[in-house]
C-alpha cells in the first residue's frame, strides 16, 4: 500500500487575528495544502482549530472542521503510542503536523514523529513559514555562521548564572551567537539576571512579538542595557512579562 505524506505545517507566531497573520506570514501554497488535510497531529488542539478556522477564511477546508481528525501530541509525556498516531499515514492518507506556534519540531514537540516517519520510509515534507529563532537571529546583527540554541535556561539564579557565563565564554572563544527562550512571565526576571551577570561589552538582543504589529527588537551592550532599564522613558513595553521573546547574546 502506498504510504501517506507527513506535512510539517507552520503556524502563526501570535494567537490573535490569525487570518490577517496568515496572509502575510504563511505562503499561499502552504495555505492550500493545509486546507486539504483531513488528519492532524497537533501540540494544542484549541490552537490548531483556531489556525484551521483562519485557513478556511482564505482557502476553504475540504471537510468541515468538526470532521477533521485531530490528535494531540505534546512530547513523550503525552502517554500515547507514536505508532498509533501515524496510522493514517500507514494507510495511505496524508497528515499534517502542527505545533502551537512557528515550526513543528523546532523548540516544540514533533521530532519524535518525524523520526518515526523516516524510519518507516514515510515521505516527510517541510513547509515554509515563520520561525521566531531564525527571525530573531536575522534581526540581531549577531553571528549567523556560528550559533547555538539552548532552549530554556535554568530557573534557579545560581544555575542560570553558571549557564550564562558558560555561553558568554564560548561566545568569546568562537565568536558565536547564543539563543534561548523564556516563559513570558519570567521575561523581566531573565533580563535583569542577564544584565547583572554578563560583562559590560557583551551584546544582548531581545526580540519580542516577531511578525506581529507589536514587534519590538532591541539590541544593546550590557552597559547600555543597564542605562535603559534605569531610564523612566525607556521604550521597553510595560507588559514585558506577557510577550513571547527570544534572547541572544554575543560577547
Domain end point (choices 126, 159, 177): 126
**Domain match, 97 and 186 both:** no
Contacts of 231 (CB under 8 A, 6+ apart): none
**Domain match, 86 and 178 both:** no
Domain-located, residue 81: yes
The reported pTM is 0.91
**Domain match, 137 and 225 both:** yes
CATH number of the domain that 190 lies in? Answer: 3.30.950.10
Residue 249: the pLDDT is 98
Distances (CA, A) of 169 to 166, 199, 202, 225: 5, 10, 10, 19
**Domain match, 80 and 151 both:** no
Residue 22: the pLDDT is 92
**Domain match, 136 and 217 both:** yes
Domain end point (choices 97, 126, 155): 126
**Domain match, 233 and 152 both:** yes
Ramachandran quadrant class, 209 (left: phi over 0; alpha: psi -120 to 50; beta: rest): left
Contact 31, 60 (CB under 8 A): no
Residue 207: the pLDDT is 96
**Domain match, 73 and 174 both:** no
Domain-located, residue 47: yes
Contact 204, 194 (CB under 8 A): yes
Residue 74: the pLDDT is 85
Cα–Cα nearest to 82, from 93, 71, 91? 71
Residue tagged 501515524 (cell numbers): 86
Please state, in angstroms and rounded to a whole number, the distance separating the CA atoms of residues 167 and 162.
Answer: 9
CATH number of the domain that 32 lies in? Answer: 3.40.1010.10
Where in the sequence is the domain holding 27, given as residue range(s)? 6-126
Express each pLDDT in 207-228 by its tens digit: 999 999 999 999 999 999 999 9
**Domain match, 57 and 152 both:** no
Mean pLDDT is lowest, of 28-37, 126-135, 181-190, for 181-190
Determine the average pLDDT of the residues in 61-83: 88
Distances (CA, A) of 18 to 58, 66, 102, 210, 240: 11, 19, 13, 14, 22
pLDDT greater than 90 at residue 56: yes
Sign of CA dihedral 14, 16, 18, 19: negative
Domain-located, residue 1: no
Domain end point (choices 98, 126, 154): 126
Domain-located, residue 179: yes
Q: DSSP letter string over 36-73?
A: T--EEEES-HHHHHHHHHHHHHHS--SS-GGGSEEEE-
**Domain match, 50 and 159 both:** no
Distances (CA, A) of 137 to 66, 149, 163, 167, 179: 38, 10, 20, 16, 8
Angle between helices 45-58 and 28-35 (to 10 degrees): 110
Amino acid at each position: 500500500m502506498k504510504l501517506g505524506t507527513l506535512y510539517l505545517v507552520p503556524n502563526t507566531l501570535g494567537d490573535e487575528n490569525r487570518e490577517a497573520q496568515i496572509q502575510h506570514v504563511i505562503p499561499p501554497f502552504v495555505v492550500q495544502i493545509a486546507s486539504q488535510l483531513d488528519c492532524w497531529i497537533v501540540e494544542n488542539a484549541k490552537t490548531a482549530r483556531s489556525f484551521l478556522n483562519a485557513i478556511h477564511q482564505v482557502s476553504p477546508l475540504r471537510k468541515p472542521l468538526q470532521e477533521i481528525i485531530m490528535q494531540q501530541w505534546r512530547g513523550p509525556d503525552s502517554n500515547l503510542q507514536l505508532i498509533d498516531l501515524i496510522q493514517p499515514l500507514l494507510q495511505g492518507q496524508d497528515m499534517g503536523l502542527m505545533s502551537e506556534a512557528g515550526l513543528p519540531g523546532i523548540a516544540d514537540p514533533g521530532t519524535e514523529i518525524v523520526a518515526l516517519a523516516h524510519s518507516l520510509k514515510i515521505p516527510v515534507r517541510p513547509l515554509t513559514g515563520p520561525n521566531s529563532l531564525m527571525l530573531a537571529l536575522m534581526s540581531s546583527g549577531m553571528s549567523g555562521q556560528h550559533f547555538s540554541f539552548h532552549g530554556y535556561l535554568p530557573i534557579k539564579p545560581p544555575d542560570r548564572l553558571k549557564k550564562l557565563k558558560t555561553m558568554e565564554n564560548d561566545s568569546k572563544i568562537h565568536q558565536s551567537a547564543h539563543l534561548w527562550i523564556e516563559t513570558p512571565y519570567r521575561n523581566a526576571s531573565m533580563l535583569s539576571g542577564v544584565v547583572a551577570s554578563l560583562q559590560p561589552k557583551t551584546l544582548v538582543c531581545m526580540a519580542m512579538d516577531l511578525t506581529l504589529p507589536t514587534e519590538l527588537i532591541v539590541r544593546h551592550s550590557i552597559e547600555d542595557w543597564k542605562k535603559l532599564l534605569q531610564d523612566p522613558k525607556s521604550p521597553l513595553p510595560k507588559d514585558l512579562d506577557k510577550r513571547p521573546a527570544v534572547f541572544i547574546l554575543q560577547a
